[in-house]
Structure 1
Amino acid sequence: MVEAAGLRAPRRACVGFAVAILMFCASSHPEAPASPEKVESTTLRQLYAGPPPTWPAPELDAGVAFVEFGERPRKAPPTERTRALAALGKQLFFDPSLSRDGTVACSHCHDPARGWSDGRPVSAGVGGLRGRRNAPSLFGLDHAGLWGWTGRTTDLRAQLAAPLFDPLEMANEDIAAVARSLDRSPGYREAFSRRFPEAEGVTIEGIGEALEAYLAGIDETTRFDAFLAGDKAALSDIEITGLHLFRTKARCANCHFGPRLSDGFFHNLRLSFFGEPAEDRGRYDVTGRLEDVGRFRTPSLRQVVRTAPYMHNGLFADLRGVINLYDRGGGEVWARNAGEAANPLNPHAQRLSPHIRKLGLSDDEKAALLAFLSTL
């Protein structure tokens, strides 16, 4: 995946080259670790001993609206109503009867045991039909602002209900079909009438609100949370080294910052497979803007070690592959013939995010970065 310039070889050669590069990105080379140029671990521990505003400044590109790392926003104590809504939402989340054929629940693609993802490159719905993208984790969902890999909605409740009607997911025809399914259960009829007395039966708004109440409570405290809160023994020396790399040489803090560890924006890593059978134009499918071709939303890194595989298409089975991808400066988009080169979208698909560049990380630095990511 060297940057394209002009025309490329036929498809078979390009695909073989792509596979070879991806294997390189996913590999590690522990047999000959380099000695990283780094500040001594004792000095780093001292530098990171105070609260985040006192830490060494991150190395940022011009224009990045960096927000310092911090603890998650504290939530108001649950009321009797929100507890009841959360209980209803939990019941809905794990109930396969909400799907057209009664085989797929929300938890089918967002399994708590797999970091609220599903462990597959792309998810499968009713009838085993495969979707286009990796199921994103639901940690920190209630603070996202835009949802999905392409930010297709700003309405969280609508986003939570959308899989009910996606033909590749739960495949219901409309809300009436879902309501009929739920109305067959006296327990659901009673629950909806009690929680939503102003509504006439089951509504999409009610389903979304109940799911939101349940998922708002699933996030868990991490060792990095404890470190931010003042427990400086929560991270080891190598993990603090990884934190420093995250903020400096590895350049991660340009896009992953704040309590959610995400800027919430959309970036092109040249992983759209533009022109290939697996092509995904990303944000462009939502906005129609040329500059959005190949852009995908920056995911939160909360609990990231539990949410493999990674990227919008589940391309990397582990975080080593992700680190190697960034280390080599992203992926690639090329044109194999004059027709593809003339595609007006091609130059935009090739336009790598300005925050991505070759890093030159040593194997020891990659190991430290991986150690830190495992604390988030």
Structure 2
Amino acid sequence: MRPSRFALYLLLAAGTALVSPAQATDLRALYSVPQEQWPAPIVAPGNQVTPLAALPENATHTESADPGTSSLLKARRELGKSLFFDPVLSGSGQHACASCHDPDLGWADGRRFSFGHNRQQGQLNSPTILNAGYLKELFWDGRAISLEEQAAASITNPIEMAGNPPEIIERLQAIEAYRQLFEKAFGDPEVDFDRITAAIAGFVRQRTTTATRFDRFMRGDQSALNDQELQGLHLFRTKGRCMNCHNGALLTDGKYHHLGTAFYEVGNYTGRYSVTKKNEDFSAFRTAPLRNVAVTAPYMHNGLLADLDHVLAAYNMGWWQNQPTELGRQDPRFAQLSPLIQPLNLDQQELQALKAFLLTLGRGAPYTTPTELPR
């Protein structure tokens, strides 16, 4: 059963306190050495986790083009930018990629559920596209394995953009400015759907945040985190048990877990099962990367939690095991709470330190001005 907002707020009712000078000195000493000498992370027995890391400062690792086409990449990204902001790709001509991934809103949309074609409401929260080029699987259920595949799926989804590829191609071919952009990007003016998704993917791959204060700290700048934030990092790795699922440079294990956010027969509740058809994946959703988490509220696959205080309170209480409906009792797939979750017993000062650390993971990319649409 979902707890009330009031119950969650009760967990946060205590006052805050600052980390003591002695604690701060000890933590500075602990974390001023190479990471392999840091205190060992607290994780479940047998759970192998990837050490935290800064993102590569250059995003070239995300490009899929061969050396022979490298001179066209800049033009391809510029084309992708125009297409990303252009509603011409949608069935109605009124809905663009940027409608759900707004640069003013952390490249998400700030809603629990996005509106798509003909104001249809989806059943999943729109994730940010920031750093999406580093992911191996996309969407909450991981059904896409590349940004190109993700772009095609969203454009053609009848609830999202409801675009029809032949109609989109015809519209773009009728615009001289677009034919010129395709020629610059691909060497000839041909417009096809694979080129459209490749250009959008190229633009999205460049939406990265590689110079956050967390990245600076991981590259050796000890001054990048203040005392409270450093305590939050320590708690993240130890008592908070966060590294069980949030590790590596993206702060995600790239896996799928059931927490308590999916309710049987409510909205999209099947999760990863819809891709794998494995019972253990029923109601399991992808671990969200924590980068830029400060600007991507609301949280969880269905936007269930409104802010970071609610998120931290839910993890602190150990989430909850959903009670099965009558149908759920008869379904062998009925999801059990991930065994990686357990009550944390963090006090208010520790919760605030954890939150302070999360805020160092980025507040969005430098502002991107939407391009003037080719017409």
| TM-score calculated relative to the size of structure 2 | 0.88
- 1:345-360 correspondence to structure 2 within 5 Å: 345-346=333-334, 349=335, 351-360=336-345
| Structure 1 residues 138-189: Cα deviation after superposition (integer angstroms, max 9, x where no partner) | 12111110111000021321112211111111112x3102112212211112
Deviation digits for residues 277-296 of structure 1, max 9, x if unmatched? 33511111111111111100
The count of aligned residue pairs is 352
Q: Does 1:201 align with 2:190?
A: yes
Equivalent in the alignment of 2:154: 163
Identity of aligned pairs, percent? 39
Change (3 A) 1:38 1:312: farther
Deviates more, 1:240-249 or 1:181-190: 181-190
Residues 211, 27 of structure 1: CA spacing in aligned structure 2 closer, same or farther, 3 A cutoff? farther
2:262 to 272, 276, 279: 272
After superposition, the Cα gap between the structure-2 partners of 1:345 and 1:38, relative to the gap in structure 1 and judged at 3 Å, is farther
Residue 235 of structure 1 aligns with which residue?
225
Query: Any stretches of 5+ residues in structure 1 without a counterpart?
Result: 2-17
- 1:323 corresponds in structure 2 to 312
Tell me the secondary structure at the aligned position of residue 374 of structure 1: helix
Task: Sort the Cα spacing of 1:332 and 1:111 in 2 relative to 1 into closer, same or farther, 3 A.
Answer: same
1:69 aligns with one of 38, 41, 52: 52
Query: For residue 177 of structure 1, what is the aligned residue in structure 2?
Result: 167
Q: Corresponding residue for 2:36? A: 53
SS at match of 1:211: helix
Note the alpha carbon deviations across 1:268-314, whole angstroms, 9 max, x for none: 10211113x33511111111111111100011111111111100001
Counterpart CA distance in 1 for 2:344 and 2:116 is 39
Q: What is the rounded CA distance, in whole Å, between the counterparts of 2:343 and 2:11 in structure 1?
A: 17
From 341, 344, 350, the equivalent of 2:329 is: 341
**What SS does structure 1 have at the residue aligned with 2:203?**
helix
1-structure distance, mates of 2:264, 2:238: 31
SS at 1:88 equivalent: helix
Contact 2:217 2:224 in 1 (8 A): yes
What do the CA deviations read for 1:174-213 (whole angstroms, capped 9, x no partner)? Answer: 3102112212211112222443347x83222211211121
Deviations 1:200-251 (A, max 9, x none): 8322221121112111222122111111112111111000000000000110
Give per-residue Cα distances to partners, 1:12-44, cap 9 Å, x unaligned. xxxxxx352x54235653445589999812100
Q: Which ranges in structure 2 are unaligned for 5 or more consecutive residues? A: 64-69, 362-375
What is the TM-score with the length of structure 1 in the denominator?
0.88
The 2-side partners of 1:39 and 1:129 are apart by 55
Residue number among 138, 143, 154 corresponding to 1:147 in the alignment: 138
Q: 1:82 & 1:325 partners in 2: Cα distance?
A: 44
Q: Which amino acid aligns with 2:286?
A: R
1:213 aligns with 2:202: yes
Question: Structure 1: how far apart are the matches of 2:117 and 2:96?
Answer: 10
**1:116 aligns with one of 104, 107, 114:** 107
State yes or no: 1:367 paired with 2:367: no
Displacement of 1:343 after TM fit? 2.4
The counterpart of 1:253, out of the listed 214, 235, 243, is 243
Paired with 2:317 and 2:350, the residues of 1 have a C-alpha distance of 14
